[in-house]
Structure 1
Amino acid sequence: MELRRVADVDFAGLTRRAFHPSPAAWEDEVLYFLMVDRFSDGRETGCRDNAGRLVDRGGTPLISAGDHGNAVRTEEEATLWRAAGADWVGGNLAGLRSKLGYLRRLGITAVWVSPVLKQVAGRPSYHGYGIQNFLAVDPHFGTAEELRDLVAEAHATGIRVVLDVVLNHAGDVFAYEPDRQPPWMGSAYDVRGFRDAHGQPTLQFGDVPEAWPDGAVWPAELQRLGTFTGKGRIVHWDRYPEYLEGDFVGLKDITLGSGPADAYRPSPALVALTRAYQFWIAFADLDGFRVDTVKHLDPGAARYFASAIHEFAQSIGKERFYLIAEITGDRAFAYRTLDEVGMDAALGIADVQDRLESTAKGLREPREYFDLFRNSLQVGRESHTWFRDKVVTGYDDHDQVRKGDNKARFAADELGDRLTLVALALNATTLGIPCVYYGGEQHFDGRGGDDRYIREAMFGGRFGPFRSRGAHAFDEEHPTYRELARILDVRRRTPALRRGRQYLRPVSVDGVRFELPTARGLLPWSRIFADHEVLVAVNTDPDRAHTAWVTVDDGLHATGDELTCVYSTEKDREGTRVRVERRNGKSVELTVPPAGAVIYESAFLGRMLPVRSEI
C-alpha cells in the first residue's frame, strides 16, 4: 500500500462494507496494553497457539527460574543486554496475532496496541511515538495488511483492538539550525531542513516530493510551511503555553490550529492528521484510539479531533468508537479536560495509579484509593457511577512518569512480587475499565530505573524479562495468570462487577466496633447493581490470613440471608456460604487467605436499593 497524500485515500471504496460493531458498554471490557516491539515475534515454543494446541517444535523456549539473570552474568553481557533495551528487539504484528489465544484465555477482551505507524529512519523509536509517515505501518512491525489481518482475527477471537495514536507531534523529522535540541523560549528557531533517509537535515524545509519514502514527513500535506511550531523542547512541563507549543525533546510539535475551544480554527495539519486516522479506522476496522499526550493539545484541537473521529466512526456503524485520552495530572484536572475535549475516558492519571499500587501493597489507607471515585459532583457529575466507563485504571505502564528516576514495576520488590494478584484483583473488580500492562500476569519486575527496563521483551530475544535472553514468558500455567483468568471470568459473568456502584465497607474483628479498613490486612468493598450485591475482599498481608466482620447493605439483606463464595484463591472455599447477621446494620464474617482474594455474591432478592448519588 502506497499513499503519499491524504487526498489520495479512496474513502468511498474503504467504507463500502460492514464493520465490526462497538460494544454495548466499554466498562464491560478488560484492556491489555502491550508494546508491539516488546510482545511477541511469533517464534516461541512451549506455549499454546490460538486454538490452545501446544507449540512444541523449534523456536524460543519457555523461561524457567534458571534463566533469570542469564543475560547479566558478566559486565560485558550486562552492557549488551542494557543496550539492547534501548533499540528495536523484534516484536511484530504477526507475533501479536499468534498470541490472541493467550490473551483471550486470560480474559482479555480489548487489546491496546502501541503506535505502529512508520517511524523516522535510523532512530531507535521502537516505542512507535516518533512517526514519520502517518499513512504507513513501520516495516519493523509488519505491513498495513498485517494490521488489518490482526484486527480481523482479534474480532473473530472476541477481542477488540484499540490503537495508540499520536496527534501532538511527529518524529524527529527536521533539524534546527544548528542541528541541536534548543529549549523552548517562546519564539520559533531557524530550521536547517527536513531529514533525509539517512537522518541528515539535507532536504529543504517545505514541499519535498523527492523525499519519498524515508525522508521528511508524510502525508505530503504535512510538508507545508507552518506545520510545525518550531519552538524547541519543553523544559517546564506544566508552564503555559510551553507545554502546548514545545517539542518532546526531539519529537517535533505540530501546529494544530488556534482560537478558543468553542470557535477553534483547525490547521491544515490537524485536518490532514484527522483524515489519516479516519483512514486507519476504515482500513483496519479498529474499535478505538488511545490518544497520546492530550494534556499537550489545544483543547479546541482535541475537541475537533474527537468530534470528527466519533462522527466518522458512527457513519460506518461504530456507534461507540472509544477515545481514551492520556491526560497526566490530578483527577480534577483530568476530568475537566476530558469534558472539555469530548473524549470518552481518561488514562494516565497519576493519583489513580499511585494509590492503587500503594493500596495493594498495604502502604496507605484504602479509602485514599476509593475516595478517588467519591464526590463526583466535584467533577460535574451527579453519580460516582460516572467513573465506571470514564476511567481506565491500572498501576504499571510503559512510562511511569509519576516515579521519576525510580521506575520499576509493581513486582520489583519482594512485597510487590507476593501481592501481585492482590493488585490485579483490585484493578479488575473496582470501578473503571481495568487495564493489564503486558507481563504483569507473569510478575515482570522492570528493575533498573529507566524506561527501557519496564519495557521487557516478553518473547525473550536479546532483552528478555528478569535480565534474561533467549526465553519467552507466555506461561499459561503461571499461578497468577491462572488466578487472574478465574477472576476475570467471574467479572465477565457478573454485571455488578462491571457496572455496579461501589462502596468501601467497614470491618470489625469483634463484630461490635466497625471502622473503615486500615492499610495492612482485610480490605473489602461492594459492587451493587439493581438488587444484586457482590462483595469482594483482598488481603494485603502476604504472611497470614485475616478474618473480620464486613458490613453489607442493610436494605438488600435480611438477617439469615446468605452470600455464596464464587471465587477464592483457596479454591476449596468456592461454593461455601456466609450468613448475614445483624451487626452494624447487616454484616457477614469473611476470611481471606494471605495475599489472597475472595468474591461473594447475594441472590437476586427483589429488595431494591435506592440509587444514591454519593457513597
Structure 2
Amino acid sequence: MSKLYTLLFVLFTLLPLSAKGRTQSSVQVQPAFWWSGMVNPTLQLVLHGHNIGHSQVTLSTTDVSIDSIVRPVNSNYLLVYLNIGRARAQRFNLQLQSGRTRQRIAYELKARDAAPKAQGFDAADVLYLLMPDRFANGDVRNDVVKGLRESTASQAPDARHGGDLAGMTRHLDYLDSLGVTTIWPTPLLLNDMPAGSYHGYAITNYYEVDPRFGSNADYRDFVSQAHKRGMKVVQDMVFNHCGSMNPLFVDRPDSTWFNNNSHYVQTSYKIAAVTDPHASSADAQNAQDGWFVASMPDFNQRNPHVMRYLIQNAVWWIEYAGIDGIRQDTYPYADRQAMARWCEELKAQYPHLNIVGETWLNNNVGVSAWQKDSPVAQGLCNSQLPTVMDFPLMGLLNSALDERTNEWDKGLARIYDYLSQDNVYADPAHLLTFMSNHDTDRFARVQAQAMQSWRYRQALTLLLSLRGIPQLYYGDELAMAANKGKGDGALRQNFPGGFAGDSINAFTGSHMTPLMQQTYDFTRRLLQWRKQCDAVKYGSLRQFTVADGVYVYSREYKGHTVTIMLNGTDAPACVSLARYAEALPASTARDVVSGRTLRLDQGTLQLDVRGVVVLDFAK
C-alpha cells in the first residue's frame, strides 16, 4: 500500500496541471519556440504564471544550459536565460519546482529552414503601404471574434471593417500587376483593446497575429505567396510602446519595464529635443520617455530584459514568417542607444536585412540625425539605422506642386533646393520617399485636387525617378482623397472592391470612374517601366537649376540615361535643349509618359501646361 501511495504522489507532482495545481494559471512562455544555429547563443524565456517566481528551474537536456535566472518583483514571472550555442534542434522540458508543486513545460528548438528571409529592400523596390482592416475582407467569419474586447464590426470610421490576411493574399496578383515590389501592411499583431483596435499600433501580444486578421500560419502563407510572385514583405513593428491591455503591462514584471516608473506621463512629441545640441535635459527626457497616449504604455528600452524581449521578437518573426524587412514605428521616441544595439544585432544575424524607421521630423537635418553614419549626429551614438523616412520631401510634394514655379523659391524650385542639400544625409539612396501615408493627409486632400490629374502625374514622376526608396499608400493609384481634419478613419477608407456591396471594384477594374482608370493606368505604366529601368533605381542624380518654370534632372547608370522635364507653370513651355546637352546623350528618346519617340535635334522641346516628359535613352 505504501508503494501505491508513493507512486500516486510522484504522478501527482509531475503532472503539468495537477488537481492541486488547477488553481494556478497555466504558464505562458514567450517565445513559444526558437531555433538552433542562431548567431546569438543566448535565449531569453519569459515565463508568466501564477506565483512561479520562486520556482527552481532545471532542464531535461544536456546541450542547453541555464546561464541565469532573473526573478522580477512580480512573482508571477520568471526570466530564464539559456545558452543554446551548442544545441541541436530538439524538444526538451523546463521543469519548475516550488515546494511540492512541479510543472513540466515542453519547449522546442527548431531547425532553421532554407526559405528566403530578410532579403532586404532598397531603391530597386517600390513599397505599397496598406491597412489590412481596410484593404479587403477575404473571410467574413473572422470579422468578429468572441472573447476579444472590441466585439463588433461596422463601417464606422474608427471601427473594425473586416479586412484580413485572406483578402490581402487573394489580391496579391493585383499588386504584382500594378508593379509594386514590396508590401508593407500596418501592424497585424493582436490589439485586444476596447476600441480603435483596427489600426494595430497598440499591441497586446507580440507573438500572435490578431485573429480578426487570421492566424500566424495565415501570415506566413501570405509572405510565402508574395515570395512566389517575386514580391517582398515588410513587417511593421512597434517597440516604443504597447497597448495597455498587454499582459506585460497589466501584470508587469516590475515597474521598470515601462518609462516613468510605469505611470502615464504625456510626451511633448517634440522629438527634435533628442538631437538638439542645445536642448534641456527635461525636454529630451520627456520627448523619449513620455507616452503617446494613456492607452499606450511606453517601453523602457534601457531595461536590458525589455530590450532582449524586443530583439528576440523581431528575430522570431523573421525566422517564423520569412519577412524581408522591418518598418519600426515612432523610431526616435525609443531609446537611441538601445535601438542601435537592436539594429546591430539584427544585421549580424541577417546581413541583407533593411530596417526603415519612422523619423517624423520636417527638416533634413533632423531626419539625417537618425540615419546610420549621419554627418550631423555629432555627440550622439551611431543610430545604425539604415533607412529613414523623408518627411521633408513628402511635405514639398504636397505643397510645392500647388504653386507656380519661379526660379528661386516657389514650386519646383523648392524641390531643387531641397535636393541640393542631400550631402546632409549619409546615404540619400536609403531614404524612404512618399507622398502620403496612414497618418497624414492623402496626397489629394479634397476631391478637387484629385481632379487635377497633372498634380498627381508630376508627384508620382518625381517620386519614382528621384533618389530613394519610393512608397505608395493604398488607393494612391485610384486618386483617393481624404484629409486628416475629418479624423484618422477618413484617411483609411476601404479599398474599392475589397468589401461586400462595393459598387466599384478596382481589383477587377469594374465600374471605375474615368479619373480612377486614368490614374491607375498612369501609375501602372510608370511602375512597370521602373521595374526594368536600372537608371532610375541605381543611377547618379544630376539636376539643373530651374529656368523659365521648368525643372530638369537626369539619372545615369552604366551608360543608360533617363532625363525628366517638368513644367511648373500654367502656360506651355518651350524648352531650349542646348542648356541640357549633358543630360541628352542622343538625338531621339522614348517618352515613357506618352509612349512616343521624340526628336531632340530641333533645338527646343514643347511641354504642356504642368506637363511631364520622361526621356528614356535606353540603348
Partners in 2 of 1:303 and 1:448 — Cα distance? 32
Give yes or no for contact 1:563–1:601 (8 Å, CA) kept in 2: no
- Paired residue for 1:309? 346
345, 348, 367: which one pairs with 2:387? 345
Q: Does 1:590 align with 2:605?
A: yes
- Cα separation, 2, equivalents of 1:160 and 1:461: 21
CA 1:100–1:482 in 2, change beyond 3 Å: closer, same or farther? Answer: same
Q: Are residues 1:124 and 2:184 paired? A: no
- Consecutive unaligned residues of structure 1, counting only runs of 5 or more, are 45-80, 174-214, 258-265, 401-406, 507-514, 582-588, 605-615
2: CA distance between counterparts of 1:413 and 1:551?
40
**Following TM superposition, by how much is the alpha carbon of 1:361 offset from its aligned partner in structure 2, in angstroms?**
3.2
Residues 103/544 of structure 1: CA separation in 2 closer, same or farther (3 Å cut): farther
Alignment of 1:132-143 (within 5 A): 132-143=204-215
Matched letter for residue 97 of structure 1:
T
Does the 8 A contact of 1:411 with 1:443 survive in 2? no
Match of 1:76 in 2: none
Which position in structure 2 is the counterpart of 1:434?
470
Amino acid at match of 1:564: A
Structure 2 equivalent of residue 358 of structure 1:
399
Work out whether 1:565 is the aligned partner of 2:586.
no
Kindly indicate whether the alpha-carbon contact (under 8 Å) linking 1:231 and 1:245 is maintained by their aligned counterparts in 2. Answer: no
Partner of 2:52: none
Distance 1:345 1:33, change over 3 A: same
Deviations 1:307-327 (A, max 9, x none): 122222x2xxxx311100101
Amino acid at match of 1:516: A
CA-CA distance at 1:370 after TM superposition? 3.1
1:254 aligns with 2:278: no
Counterpart of 1:228 in structure 2: which amino acid? Answer: F
SS in 1 for 2:370: helix
User: What's the offset of the Cα at 1:557?
Assistant: 5.8
Distance 1:555 1:469 in 2: 51
2:131 equivalent in structure 1: 35
2:357 corresponds in structure 1 to 325
1:145 and 2:217 matched? yes
CA contact (8 A) 2:31 2:313 kept: no
Q: Residue 480 of structure 1 aligns with which residue?
A: 519
The higher relative CO (CA closer than 8 Å, separation ≥ 6) is in 1
1:505 and 1:552 in contact (8 A); partners too: no
Work out the CA distance in 1 between the residues paired with 2:438 and 2:233: 18
Q: Using the TM superposition, give the Cα deviation of residue 446 of structure 1 relative to its aligned residue in structure 2, in angstroms.
A: 1.2
Name the amino acid aligned to 1:30.
V
Write the deviation string for residues 274-330 of structure 1: whole angstroms up to 9, x where unpaired.
101211111100000000011101111110111122222x2xxxx311100101112
Match of 2:247 in 1: 216
Q: What is the identity, as a one-letter code, of the residue corresponding to 2:128?
A: Y
Distance 1:359 1:120, change over 3 A: same
CA distance in 2, matches of 1:563, 1:22: 42
Question: In the alignment, which of 488, 491, 494 is matched to residue 451 of structure 1?
Answer: 488
Q: Distance in 2 between matches of 1:3 and 1:567?
A: 61
Instruction: Tell me which residue corresponds to 1:112.
Output: 184
Q: Is the 8 A contact 2:577 2:600 kept in 1?
A: no
> Within 5 Å, which residues of 2 pair with 1:402-413?
407-410=441-444, 412-413=446-447
Distance 2:618 2:247 in 1: 63
Q: Is the 8 A contact 1:231 1:246 kept in 2?
A: no
Q: Describe the shift of the 1:516–1:279 C-alpha distance in structure 2 as closer, same or farther (beyond 3 A).
A: same
SS at match of 2:614: strand
Which residue of structure 2 aligns with residue 288 of structure 1?
A: 325
> 1:112–1:161: 8 Å Cα contact kept in structure 2?
yes
- The change in CA–CA distance for 1:332 and 1:167 in structure 2 (over 3 A counts) is same
TM-score by length of 1: 0.70
Percent identical pairs in the alignment equals 23
Alpha-carbon offset, residue 555 of structure 1: 5.1
Q: Give yes or no for contact 2:567–2:610 (8 Å, CA) kept in 1.
A: yes
With over 3 angstroms needed to count, the CA separation of the structure-2 counterparts of 1:16 and 1:22, relative to structure 1, is closer
Pairs within 5 Å for 1:200-279: 216-217=247-248, 223-229=253-259, 230-238=262-270, 239-249=283-293, 250-257=295-302, 266-279=303-316
AA aligned to 1:490 is W
The residue that corresponds to 2:243 in the other structure is 171
Aligned residue pairs total 472
Deviation at 1:19, TM superposition (A): 2.8
SS, match of residue 425 in structure 1? helix
CA positional deviation for 1:552: 6.3
Query: Which residue pairs with 2:146 in the alignment?
Result: none
Tell me by how many angstroms 1:15 deviates: 5.1
* Counterpart Cα distance in 1 of 2:616 and 2:496: 39
SS at match of 1:488: helix
Shift of the 552–535 alpha-carbon distance from structure 1 to 2, 3 Å rule, reads: farther
Cα distance in structure 1, aligned partners of 2:30 and 2:484: 42
Q: How does 1:477-516 map to 2 (within 5 A)?
A: 478-506=517-545, 515-516=546-547
For the Cα contact (< 8 Å) 1:524–1:550, is it kept in 2?
no
Return the letter of the residue paired with 2:574. T
Instruction: Choose which of 32, 37, 44 in structure 2 pairs with 1:8.
Output: 32
Could you tell me which amino acid in structure 2 is paired with residue 172 of structure 1? S
Mark the CA change 1:140 to 1:547 in structure 2 (over 3 Å): closer, same or farther.
farther
Is residue 2:561 matched to residue 1:533? yes
In structure 1, how many angstroms separate the alpha carbons of the residues matched to 2:421 and 2:577? 23
Partner of 2:461 in structure 1?
425
User: Is the 1:524–1:535 Cα contact (8 Å) retained in structure 2?
Assistant: yes
State the Cα RMSD in Å: 3.1
Secondary structure of the equivalent of 1:548? Answer: strand
Write the distance in 1 (CA, Å) between the matches of 2:497 and 2:527: 27
- Counterpart CA distance in 2 for 1:19 and 1:84 is 40
Distance in 2 between the 1:489 and 1:552 partners? Answer: 30
Query: Match for residue 20 of structure 1?
Result: 116
1:95-146 deviations in Å (ceiling 9; x for gaps): 0111111111111000111101111342322110000100101111111000
Matched to 1:35, the amino acid is: M
CA distance in 2, matches of 1:3, 1:322: 35
Structure whose alpha-carbon radius of gyration is higher: 2
- The residue number in structure 2 matching 1:378 is 424
Task: Give the letter for the 2:428 counterpart.
Answer: F
Amino acid of the structure 1 residue aligned with 2:566: V
1:110–1:160: 8 Å Cα contact kept in structure 2?
Answer: yes
SS at match of 2:114: coil
- Is the counterpart of residue 367 in structure 1 residue 434 in structure 2? no
Q: Distance in 1 between matches of 2:35 and 2:471?
A: 33
